[in-house]
Structure 1
């Protein structure tokens, strides 16, 4: 039986990555909102969409926590580092999927609309790919037993 530990941590990373995106890019920097590419002047629609986005992030986090509690008996001895790795990978997958679908395919919004928007969108994807690579290495690599 495979442990749900990596999947639980990936879900946590997806949710946390979404929260960081929403808090930093939507609220603090005000670079975009969920529907700002489609409805740039409709703040009510954007606020509702941002709220639904954060609700989805909360569902990911809560589901990840529930799975993590269930997986605790099978968690590896070096679970702290490995959990961080899988969460980082989950954040990276958030960037890759959200960046590809919302930014490039649908044009729902861009990381930062205007001059250089493609560069911002590609940088978002590159950071995501880096997080997936580093996180997966940390998550998969078992620590050597002492002695």
Structure 2
């Protein structure tokens, strides 16, 4: 098995593949949310319980968070590639898990429990909430499926190489 510069085998970096993807997925979904729902459609701001000016400032902080998460995930991705430890299926599973986890957190905690904003300010939110949270569940299921398949494949490879 090929080792990296530190002498560690790529298998030792398996969790980092998922975490790198997870962080990138959080950044990607938050960037998409901020760009589409906050800027293009202007359905809400990150914090809607104050003035429009405060809402726009909160969007700026939300946007900065999305970029920090995205760049952090990409730095981890680059490090895994440098170490020859990148497992794309695990990384993509992590991307979907991160995107789904943030989407579900946003839909349940921020929209319903904290009520800092809603998806859209209309009379009936049920359809919007259902689609938002259902999309999150689909992302989570897809991510978990990829991670479990990648783990199964890597354990089969280890077993076959013995």
Give 1:75's match in structure 2, choosing from 70, 86, 89: 86
Q: Which residue of 1 aligns with 2:39?
A: 27
Distance 2:45 2:145 in 1: 32
After TM superposition, the score normalised by the length of structure 2 is 0.78
Looking at structure 2, the residues matched to 45 and 131 of structure 1 have their Cα atoms a distance apart, in angstroms, of 31
> Runs of 5+ in structure 1 lacking a partner?
none
Task: Tell me the CA shift for residue 82 of structure 1.
Answer: 4.1
Gaps of 5+ in 2: 1-11, 158-162
CA displacement at 1:67 relative to structure 2: 1.3
Following TM superposition, the consecutive aligned residue runs of length 4 or more in structure 1 with deviations greater than 4 angstroms are: none
RMSD: 1.8
- Other structure's SS at 2:61 match: helix
Query: What's the TM-score once normalised by structure 1's chain length?
Result: 0.85
Q: Deviations over 1:34-70 (max 9, x none)?
A: 112x12xx22101100000011111111111111122
The aligned residue for residue 84 of structure 1 is 92
How many residue pairs match? The answer is: 139
SS at match of 1:32: coil
Q: Based on CA coordinates, which of the two structures has the bigger radius of gyration?
A: 2
